[in-house]
Amino acid sequence: MKTIVYLIRHSVRFNNKEMIESYKTTQNALLKNEKIVLSVTGEKRAEILSNEEELQDIDVVYTSNCVRTLQTAKYLLEKQNLKANIDERFDERRVGLPNDGEVTNWYVRQYEDENYKTIGGESQADVRNRMYEALQEVIEANQGKRIAIFSHGYAITFLLLKWCKLNNVNNKHKLEISFNGKTIFNKKLNSPEVFKLVLDENNKVENIENIEFADLEYDDFDKKELE
């Protein structure tokens, strides 16, 4: 029996820079990032996502340790009477601090060099290793089931590069990724974004696809950039 894994990027996050006047706290950057919530639009999209036919009959749900992934998952959890399993290994990449201010072509560099990282941060390889370790444990514990994992943009795409090829990346945050010679993604990441993995009885990945939903209206960026 095949195992189905949905890797789901969280919905639209609250924009701290645009909507918070001041933030007085002694918390470090990592903790502040974990506490970021969804925006009003993000909540609406998360609810729409929970009603998509593709995501019905889920057996088990995992989320990262961040508030925004649990908030994205909560509508599906309530609708299907499920509980979340929280695992920090599904957290977003720790960015860290640049060595000397702005890093040229930072977005592209982190994809093209799997070992590149800033002070206190994680590399692509670091993130993929912990994500893959967690995923393997989840699959082994839930063979033959339909699994939803709510995680983050970098974390998910870095994990996908375990099986996929990065064909192109640019500073406008557009990614082109292929699996077994077929392009499965060629745009910017949306919020939310869903990738479906199909694994055989031996837990080998047979297929990966990006699932799009017509009733989710995305306005996160200028779609002309994708042409």
Q: Angle, to 10 degrees, between the axis of helix 67-79 and the axis of helix 40-50? A: 40
Spell out the domains of the chain, with CATH numbers in brackets: 3-226 (3.40.50.1240)
Q: Is the pLDDT of residue 223 over 50?
A: no
| pLDDT at residue 32 in the model | 63
**pTM for the full predicted model:** 0.90
Task: Identify the pLDDT of residue 104.
Answer: 72
Q: Which residues make Cβ contacts (< 8 Å) with residue 161, sequence separation at least 6?
A: 114, 124, 128, 177
Give per-residue pLDDT as tens, 29-82: 655 667 788 999 999 999 999 999 999 999 999 999 999 999 999 999 999 999
The better pLDDT of the pair 149, 98 is held by 149
